[in-house]
Each structure stands twice: as structure tokens, then as C-alpha cells.
Structure 1
Amino acid sequence: MPISAISLTRFHQLEPGGPVPPYDQFFIEGSWVPAIGSERLEVENPATEETITTVRMGSAGDVGAAVSAARRALPGWATTTPEQRKAHLVALRDALGARQQSLAETITADLGCPIRLTTRIQAALPVQVLSDYCDLLDSHRFTETVRNSTIVHEPVGVVAAITPWNYPLYQILCKIAPALAAGCTVVLKPSEVTPLVVWQLFEAVAEAGLPPGVLNFVLGRGPEVGEALVDHPDVDMVSFTGSTAVGRHIGGLCGARVRPVALELGGKSANIILEDADLATAVKVGVANAFLNSGQTCSAWSRMLVPASRYAEAVDMAEAAASRTTVGDPTEETTRMGPVASGPQRKRVVDFIETAVAEGARLITGGTARPADLPTGHYVAPTVLADVDPESTLAQEEVFGPVLAVIPFDDDHHAVAIANNSRYGLAGGVWSADRDRALAVAGRLQAGSIDINGAAYNSRAPFGGYKQSGLGRELGVAGLEEFLQAKAIQQ
């Protein structure tokens, strides 16, 4: 399907028989309501640089209405049984699952992620996350006895969920699924960069029949709508995914109100390939991981650490793997990498490449020029840089683009030291033919999620970071517990 063939469905009507522009309303208290804010924002297809549609930006007034709705719904939702909450989440899972192809096509148009990835990851994983929390509601102990105390785990209250543009549906479900399972009500502010899928999500919410006010959304810019939401006195907790700089600011606002906050922030993850590893497989998988979603993944293995004795060989393999990465029309099934999300994002990535070369890195493949056959669209060629100083800008800062730094090390101790030489600690990988050796290295890494020999993703495992990669965890039991508070009743 060529890019120009993607058309977005007009998802809903404000009144029966009365069609209206689809992106002028927010979902508040169980209904589609006109936005109070007047600003309209163009939504661009990053592969064509054409405007898909325009969306209405919200205001502090929209935030106030949404928070008030969530506050009114809280007493009833918080006292539902786990079985009742599960029934609603099952209905939402099924409604969302029935829309997976449409969800994938919308995300491809809005983000530029290739359709093969939006189908398998961007649209499928949110449904899996919902399924996980449906299962957890069958087994989680919300009440337990410890000696003479009854420990009750209660919902924290009204949650402000603020999500990023790179996984526009998955990141939403990582927050709203556990929050709803815990008995919290939610006001969602999705990113205005890739907003279109949220209307489809809330059509599924309406179809699933969640009680009015339990789940609401308002779209808007961070400094206006995000700030109003985070600082609203009737919000009990904030869950944010995004940049470390914004996370610091949100953390400060929440600290001033003594309000719990969960922050999933940046990363500069290291992929350590030990000398006894299957080098060809480790490099191939490592390059694919670094370039997934055009490198716009917080947990991307953007630093590849290889033994000095095998360094030249590994660099050649990385170059070959990058050259096999098919870049182009994201609606084509054969495309492995699409554009980055926007013009400003492309400039940011290109600036990092220029800085890396200026600081002494050796450009192996890719670079700042657009791919020759893609004159239109925010494309960045898959880029590999060697001889990267571990203290350099490229090794220390999150690029959020398809740029891989290859760094040599002398021994296991040296590899761990380089990997831990970062203000971030989100994820990483270790490769070795000796499982115990790999586990020993993984145990010394200061990061929240480590894969051994390319292990499979686990949606039940806690996800989150050390150091400036954030506070708290998402997914699984740990993700559920972020939205609960404990009460001890002695008797």
C-alpha cells in the first residue's frame, strides 16, 4: 500500500446523525465533548511531510473538566471488586483487539513506523498488556494478613497519565491498564506529536462500557495542558514517560505537593558482547535493536561494546547489518525502518552525528545526508560510528534516532565500567556462550532490564530504570503496585 493510500477513519459523531470533524472533541465523563481550547495543530505524516489532519489543543479548562469527572467517578470505581474491574478490562481488551489493523495503519501514518512493526508491536503489545492485567486481577492479593494486622492495598486515587510519541498506544496501556486494575480513575494526556490513535482507543473505551469518568483524555501541549494536569490539586498521582529533563520538572512539582510520581525517562543502554559470544548473531541482533522504531526507543541498545581483539570484525559486521536495513515507505511490508517522527527530531539526530564526528568518532556508514532515493520525509540513514570515546557526547547522551556507537573494551571489568559510565540505567544486553559469565556481568550492570543472548521480551517483567532513567516500574505486579497504597489495620 503506498503512503498516499492511507486514509484515517472518521471515528465518531458527537450527536446521532450529526457528523463533525473527528479531532475536535475529548472523551470526558463517558462522552465526547467539544474541546474548550481553540488552537488547532496540524498532524504530519513524517514519511511524506504532508498534513494528515488537524487536531484541537486543550486548555486548563479542559483539564479541570476531566479531573473533576475522574474525581466524581473515583468512589464508585475504587470500591468495585477485582472481578468487576476485570470484566471491564476484558471488554476493553476485546474492543481494542478488534481494531488492531486500523490501529496499526493509523500509527504508521502518524509516526512513520513500518507497518510490519506497528502490526506486530505497536498495535499488538497493548492488547497483551491488557490481557496481563486481566490475569493479574485473578491472582493479586489486595488484602493480606501479617501477624495481627490486616494489610489493605487501596487505589492511590486520581491518576494523571502523560505519555510520549514514540509508542503512542503501548505507553498509554502501560499506564491505564494497571491504574484501572488497581481501582484508580485516570486522566490521560497523550503526546500531540502522534495523537491520532487515541481517538480509536477511546472509541474502544466507549464500546467497552467503562463507567463515566473512570477514563478520560485531554490533548494539549506539555507547558499548558501537561502542567495544568500535573499541578491540579485533585490529582493524587502522576505517571509520566518522556525525557529526563521534563521528568525532573514534573518530579519537582509533585514533590512540592508531596504527591507520588512514577517517571519512565531516558536511556543510553549498552549491549556488551563478550569474546566467547556468537559475534555474528550478537551484532546482527544488536544493530536491529538499536534501529528499532528508527532508534526512537528509550531502551535501545545504542552503545555496542565489543572486545578489542574482535573490534575490527565487529565493526565490519555492524556496517553490513546496517546496510541490510531496508529504509523507505513505512506502508510497505518489506520496509524495516521508516523516518523519524518529525523535522525537529531529524535535525536533533543529524546534529548528534555531526558532533560525534567532530569529537573524533569514525563514520562507518550512514551519516547526515538523506538516503538518496528518499528526498521527501524525515529520513535518517542507519548510522554506525566507531572509535567512540566513552566520555564523548554520543556515548553519554540519548540520541533517539538510528545511530549506533561501537566501543572497544579490554576485559569483562572494563566492559562493565564503560556500560555503567552513564547517568542513565534503563536497559542493556549481555552476550556470552557461558551463561554464568553472562549472568555475572548482568548482575554488575546498573540498569533495570538486561537481556542475556537476545532473550525474548516479557510483558510481565518490571520495566524501569536506575539513576536518571526514572523512578518506579511499569508492567506486571510491580506496575500494578505503583498505583496502590497500603493501609495497616491492627486487631
Structure 2
Amino acid sequence: MALLDPENWRTLRGGEAEAVEPATGEVLGVLTLAGPSDVERATNRAARAQRDWAGTPYPERAAVLRRAGDLIHRHAPEISEWIVREAGSIPGKAEFEIRTAAEECYEAAALAHRPLGQVLPSAAPRLSYTSRVPAGVVGVIAPFNVPLVLAVRSVAPALALGNAVVLKPDPRTAVCGGHVLAAVFAAAGLPEGLLHVLPGGAGTGRALVGDPRVRVISFTGSTAAGRRVGARAARHLKRAHLELGGNSALLVLADADLDAAMSTAAWASFFHQGQVCMTAGRHLVHASLHDEYVARLAARADALTVGDPYREQVHLGPVIDRGQLDRIDTLVRAAAADGVRIAAGGTHRDLFYRPTVLADGGTGPGSVGASAAYGQEVFGPVAPVRAFHTLDEAVALATDSAYGLALGIVTRDAARALDLAARIPTGLLHINDQTVNDEPVAAFGGLADSGTGARFGGDANLDAFTETRWTTVRATPAAYPF
């Protein structure tokens, strides 16, 4: 029996939209988008339903989350097809999303019975303790690139901890990033009114952030959009957890084994067409290895197959839409016009952009380091390579960024890598691995322009989706001077 019913995608009032396959332009389905009245209606229902859900015994909440994880596995072929076709993912990436989404549900189920607080000492004759209570209604705004995972990683823990959720998926991936979860949790027995899926644009997001019934916002997306979300949330005095963009560095030290490193390097920049916030946007390579590294990475890029991931066996699928392709190509063309060497790629057919390597060891005009493709988040399959000569220079280059999401270091000396990393602010660190890593049990998030320091995953979800209440209890009323 199919999990998804397209009739459930047409209940909103913000106008019609099409689910489009970026590889072919084929319309996969028709849905409706949310408008401000849909947001108001959803948050009203969510606030009412949340009161009962917060009082539901934790074994019942945990059971819903476990069943949701089981259902994701059970309907993996159907969900996978949507991730491949709607998000332009290769099947392996869809399998990763399904596996991780199920694990997010199982991990969230365990949150339901975590300790609720602490007993505190008190100078007065009273019981003093803290307890975690649900935040209330949580607004989740999720992006297109890893749509299922980046939605469920907030939806599942928020529900497990007694909250209701209003989810706004990106309208480009409204089915695999939104309606899939609505169907999964309905089939898992989640009571009505606790999860609302409202695909829509910026206006829908503004309405969600500004709604007084929504007390916490969980946002994943670009830094520019995150600034607007954070500012609006601050005006309404509500918490906003912002997981934003990146331009992460992969450092390759002089002692690195290039035979082992090239798979790591290619995956870091080309996985899912580079449309991942953790993508390595800067390859910083010791000067003694630079030329060989560029040649090897370019050979890897040239050997990768780009095409329709649903109908062909490929390494890279399409980028999400024409706007994203134009941004990628504009940055690469500008670098080439300034004299940067395109060692591989730099071309496209329709929405299929070839994996691209930009190379130049210099530091002046016309070098990789002077190009916007090096300094900005490209969000495409582009690997700029730049040389360094000393570890101090490597640190200076790695820290010369407004972002602070992920860092990878490739070396035969892990202790030296740890010492080096201590000098480079970053939210995530991977030694002898690339920058695109995530697990449900790990606290995930970045610094500076990569986010507010908020974290998702594991015990960090307790801070993200609950409030701490201090309580004291006396046996008799306290006496005061008046």
C-alpha cells in the first residue's frame, strides 16, 4: 500500500504549485502552497493539540517515534523515488537520507525518557529543582538540498519532547521534505493537530516566525535568509536556532597520502552536486603537493558521470533549478575571466553541471584566492584549490572566512592535526575525513556566519526544544519581614 496520497497535498489556500523533476522538467504532481491564513489556522490547532500531547506518558510518545522510523524503512522505495526525482539526488544519497531519517526518529524516541532536570541545593528549607518542559509550538523551516533529513532532525525531537510542530519545507521539495513526514507520522499514530506541513515561500516563513503561538524557530538555510529569520524572531522575543551556510576548508598537509586522500577530496566538493552546507569550498594544499593534487582531483572530476539519477547510473545529478545553476556558472565564469585556471569541468548541459576544479597557487589578482568562487559559498560542484607553505599560513587561510561550519584535515599525524585545529574556530572537525559528515547522535552546528552556535542532534535537542523551569516547594508558607 502506498504511503503518499496526493489528495492530501491540496488542502492549503496559497495557490497551486507543481512538484517538478529537475532532471527532465517533468511535473511529478500538483500541490497547494500555504498562505498567512494557513499559518494562523495551523498554529491555532497546534497550540490546542500540544497541551494534551505534553501530558501524554512518555512511553506513548516514544512509541510513535519508533513506529515512524519503522515506516520510513518500510516505505523506503517510494520515499527514495521522490528524493531522487524531486531533489535530483542519486539513489545512494536517497538511501542515506532514508537511513538517517529513520535513525533520527529512533534517537528522538529515546529523548522522551531522558532525565527531566536537576535537584538543586538551597539555602532555604525547601525542595529546589529544575525541570525541562516543552517549548510549545515549534516552527521548522527546512531547505531543498537534503530535504527529508533536514526536516526530520527537528520535527522528530520536537515531537518526542512534547511539542507540536509546524513545518515549512522548501516548495521545490515539498513532497520528499514535507508531505512524506506528514504521511509517516499520521500512519505512526501521531494525534491530529500536532504536525502541520505548510510548503511556501518567504511570506509563509515570515508569518510562521511572527506568529505569537510559535515559541521556537528551527531554521536551516542560507546565511542571508537566516539573518532575516533571526532578526524577525528577535523582534518577537523568541528563540531561533539557525543552521546556516558554509565555505569549509579541507587542509591537506605535506605528509598526506594522496592515494588515500583523493576520494575524500572529491566527495567533499562533489557529493550531491556540492549542494550541501558542509561542502569543502576551499581545498588548502601544501605547496609540495599542490600540482599533483590538482591533477589528480581534475582526473577524478573528469571521470565522474553527470546525468539523470532516476534513469541512469550516475555520480552527480542536476542542480535544483536554473537560478542555482546560473549562480554557479557566473562564479566560475568570473574566475576564468580573471585568469583562474579551470583544471576540470566548468561546463553544463541543462541543469547538469560538470564537477569543476579551479587551480592557481598564487595570491594576487587572477589567483583562486582572489576569486568569488573561493571566498563565497558556491553551493555547487566546484573545488577551488590553493597552496600554502607553512602551517601558520594554513591556519591564516583556513580562518580567513566569515563562516565556521566544518573543517577537514588530511595528514599522517593525527596529533599534529588536533593541535592545528585548536587554532581554527569551527563547529565540526574531521581528521582524515572530509567535511560532509552528520550523525543523529552528534551535536551539529556552526559558528559565525554558519549559525548562532545552536546545535541539533543527541542531547543538544534537549536545549533546542525545551524550556527550563525552576521550581521550589516548602512544607509551609515562608515568613518575610512584612
In structure 2, C-alpha distance between the alignment counterparts of 1:146 and 1:111, rounded to whole Å: 49
Q: Is the 8 A contact 1:115 1:332 kept in 2?
A: no
Q: Is the 8 A contact 2:299 2:344 kept in 1?
A: no
What do the CA deviations read for 1:165-206 (whole angstroms, capped 9, x no partner)? Answer: 001111111111111122111101110011122223222111
What do the CA deviations read for 1:75-104 (whole angstroms, capped 9, x no partner)? Answer: 112223332321111121112221111111
**What SS does the corresponding residue of 2:173 show, helix, strand or coil?**
coil
Q: Is the 8 A contact 2:141 2:219 kept in 1?
A: yes
The CA RMSD over aligned residues, in Å, is 1.8
**What SS does the corresponding residue of 1:444 show, helix, strand or coil?**
coil
**What SS does the corresponding residue of 1:205 show, helix, strand or coil?**
helix
Corresponding position: 1:184 with 2:166: no
Q: Is the 8 A contact 1:273 1:305 kept in 2?
A: yes
In structure 2, C-alpha distance between the alignment counterparts of 1:199 and 1:257, rounded to whole Å: 29
Please name the residue that 1:467 is paired with.
448
1:182-331 to structure 2, matched below 5 A, reads 182-197=161-176, 198-222=178-202, 224-331=203-310
Please name the residue that 1:15 is paired with.
none
Corresponding position: 1:91 with 2:67: yes
Corresponding position: 1:134 with 2:114: no
Please name the residue that 1:35 is paired with.
12
Q: Is the 8 A contact 2:321 2:351 kept in 1?
A: yes
Deviation at 1:245, TM superposition (A): 0.8
Bigger CA drift: 150-159 or 44-53?
A: 44-53
Cα distance change, pair 90–333 in 1 and its aligned pair in 2 (3 A): farther
In structure 2, C-alpha distance between the alignment counterparts of 1:407 and 1:340, rounded to whole Å: 25
What do the CA deviations read for 1:291-321 (whole angstroms, capped 9, x no partner)? Answer: 1111000001121110011111111111111
What do the CA deviations read for 1:98-149 (whole angstroms, capped 9, x no partner)? Answer: 1111111111110111112212x122211111112223434x2112212233
Please name the residue that 1:392 is paired with.
371
What do the CA deviations read for 1:442-477 (whole angstroms, capped 9, x no partner)? Answer: 222211011111177433111100001012111111
Deviation at 1:10, TM superposition (A): 8.5
**What SS does the corresponding residue of 2:455 show, helix, strand or coil?**
coil
In structure 2, C-alpha distance between the alignment counterparts of 1:96 and 1:329, rounded to whole Å: 24
In structure 2, C-alpha distance between the alignment counterparts of 1:115 and 1:447, rounded to whole Å: 31
Deviation at 1:439, TM superposition (A): 1.1
Number of aligned residue pairs: give it: 458
Bigger CA drift: 249-258 or 438-447?
A: 438-447
**Residue type of the partner of 2:403?**
Y
Q: Is the 8 A contact 1:272 1:415 kept in 2?
A: yes
**What SS does the corresponding residue of 1:183 show, helix, strand or coil?**
coil
Which of residues 421, 430, 441 in structure 2 aligns to 1:442? 421
Cα distance change, pair 188–127 in 1 and its aligned pair in 2 (3 A): same
Corresponding position: 1:483 with 2:465: yes
Please name the residue that 2:320 is paired with.
341
- Per the normalisation by structure 1, the TM-score is 0.89
Corresponding position: 1:383 with 2:356: yes
Bigger CA drift: 157-166 or 477-486?
A: 477-486
What do the CA deviations read for 1:19-51 (whole angstroms, capped 9, x no partner)? Answer: xx53643xxxxxxxx2223x2122221111222
In structure 2, C-alpha distance between the alignment counterparts of 1:22 and 1:366, rounded to whole Å: 43
Which of residues 124, 139, 142 in structure 2 aligns to 1:160? 139
In structure 2, C-alpha distance between the alignment counterparts of 1:52 and 1:10, rounded to whole Å: 16
**Residue type of the partner of 1:378?**
L
In structure 1, C-alpha distance between the alignment counterparts of 2:86 and 2:42, rounded to whole Å: 25
Bigger CA drift: 470-479 or 266-275?
A: 470-479
**What SS does the corresponding residue of 1:486 show, helix, strand or coil?**
strand
Please name the residue that 1:22 is paired with.
7
What do the CA deviations read for 1:337-396 (whole angstroms, capped 9, x no partner)? Answer: 1110111111111111112223332110101x32xxxx5x41101100012443531222
Q: Is the 8 A contact 2:358 2:368 kept in 1?
A: no
**Residue type of the partner of 1:418?**
L
Please name the residue that 2:363 is paired with.
none
Deviation at 1:329, TM superposition (A): 2.1
Structure 2: gaps spanning 5 or more residues = 123-127, 361-366, 474-482
In structure 1, C-alpha distance between the alignment counterparts of 2:234 and 2:84, rounded to whole Å: 37
Deviation at 1:332, TM superposition (A): 5.0
1:39-118 to structure 2, matched below 5 A, reads 39-118=15-94
1:420-431 to structure 2, matched below 5 A, reads 420-431=399-410
**Residue type of the partner of 1:132?**
E
Structure 1: gaps spanning 5 or more residues = 1-8, 13-20, 26-33
Please name the residue that 2:4 is paired with.
11
Q: Is the 8 A contact 2:90 2:310 kept in 1?
A: yes
Q: Is the 8 A contact 2:104 2:152 kept in 1?
A: yes
Q: Is the 8 A contact 2:3 2:75 kept in 1?
A: no
**What SS does the corresponding residue of 2:468 show, helix, strand or coil?**
strand
Q: Is the 8 A contact 1:23 1:54 kept in 2?
A: no
In structure 1, C-alpha distance between the alignment counterparts of 2:312 and 2:144, rounded to whole Å: 22
Bigger CA drift: 424-433 or 143-152?
A: 143-152
In structure 1, C-alpha distance between the alignment counterparts of 2:37 and 2:439, rounded to whole Å: 40
